[in-house]
Amino acid sequence: MNAMDTLRRISDELTRRSSFLITSHARPDGDSIGSQVALAAALRGMGKTVRMVNRDAPPPAYLIFPGVAEIEVAERAEGDYDAVIVLECSDLSRPGVAGLDKYFVINVDHHAGNAMYGAINWFDESAAACGEMVADIIDVLDRPWDREIGTALYLTILTDTGSFRHSNITSRTFEVCRRAIDAGADAVSIARTVFDSSGVGKLKLIGAVLDAMRIEAGGRVAVMELSDELLAETGTTVYDTDGVINMPFMASAIQAVALVRKEGERQVRVSLRSKGDLDVRTIAGVYGGGGHRNASGFTIQDGDAAAVRDQLIDRITQALDALSPEPTTGAR
């Protein structure tokens, strides 16, 4: 079944069914949140009953956006629904919400390695954000874009493209943005909310993380570390870490960044970013993770943060050397 046939089947199921639960991955980001809100608004405009449920709460700053405050936090899916729509999750464990497997599941995702776990599976790795796919669903449903939908869809793309810096951007990406702004999305306000609404604690956190940052592989790799203790010392939360990983790219020599966070005694969570042709998704895949070519991550439930960090430096260096053996001279 080709993509258009799958999209039409999704549209048919959404049209004939009446009640839906929409969920996405744990620790939701702008793409997952915006995709949920946009699709929920479109379905409600058709007279459908919709509930949005996630394992974790949205970042507090996002609550200003229309519809985001309606997202509920729950560990289990309860109630009668005609279908569950799972957005940008490669497998059914990714949401962290129990009980999803008892429903008719519609799986919409753009991450490589999707397990095709739904009754309907639409996978489109060419989409820069899941929001691009949701935009297509809304169009096939013949629903107009209003300010809520436009704001939500712009949020998906702004955040999942790294503020328009990742290599997955296409003309389709900017067409969704154009239409979102025409529908009432305030691009400047959305960007300021996402990037410029933190407290002083985040500045202290950034300073501490950058001060301890290691530059490896001849100036091509930046490695940063986080811990619960550092968050406590700076009076910040995990939400304040958003965007920190991109800061080393201000130095032109940096080709990859790893952010290693120790959580509790043994859990290690790693985020990876890259520029150009370096595919950090393959590195994350070694540890059971995934994501995009230039933005991926993984979690180790029982590991040593220092050992993971050192392994990552070796793996990233090897990957960079395979692309270009000559290291960039001098980190700026």
Instruction: Give, for all 332 residues of the chain, the pLDDT tens digit.
Output: 788 999 999 999 999 999 999 999 999 999 999 999 999 999 999 999 999 999 999 999 999 999 999 999 999 999 999 999 999 999 999 999 999 999 999 999 998 888 999 999 999 999 999 999 999 999 999 999 999 999 999 999 999 998 998 878 999 999 999 999 999 999 999 999 998 888 999 999 999 999 999 999 999 999 999 999 999 999 999 889 988 999 999 999 999 999 999 988 899 999 999 998 999 999 999 999 888 888 899 999 999 999 999 999 999 999 999 998 655 444 44
Topology annotation, domain 3-195: inorganic pyrophosphatase (n-terminal core) (3.90.1640)
Is there a contact between 143 and 42 (Cβ–Cβ < 8 Å)?
yes
Residue 198: predicted pLDDT? 87
Q: Residue 148: helix, strand or coil by DSSP?
A: helix
CA distance 309 to 314: 9
Q: Which residues contact 12 (CB under 8 A, 6 or more apart)?
A: none
Q: Would you call 75 exposed, middle or buried from its count of C-beta atoms within 10 A (0-12, 13-18, 19+)?
A: exposed
Which pTM does this prediction carry?
Answer: 0.86
Q: How far apart are the first and last CA of the chain?
A: 50
Strand order in the sheet with 214-216: 214-216, 221-227, 256-263, 267-274, 295-300, 290-291
Topology annotation, domain 200-323: Diaminopimelate Epimerase; Chain A, domain 1 (3.10.310)
CA distance 270 to 262: 9
- Does the fold of domain 200-323 match that of domain 3-195? no
Residue 178: predicted pLDDT? 98
> Which residues on neighbouring strands pair with residue 52, listed in sequence order?
22
Q: Which residues contact 322 (CB under 8 A, 6 or more apart)?
A: none
Strand order in the sheet with 49-54: 72-73, 49-54, 19-23, 83-87, 105-109, 120-123
Domain range list for the chain: 3-195, 200-323
Q: Please name the helix (run of DSSP H) or strand (run of DSSP E) that holds residue 160, with its range, or none.
A: helix 147-160
Residue 265: predicted pLDDT? 86
252: which 2 tokens? 């032109």
Residue 326: predicted pLDDT? 55
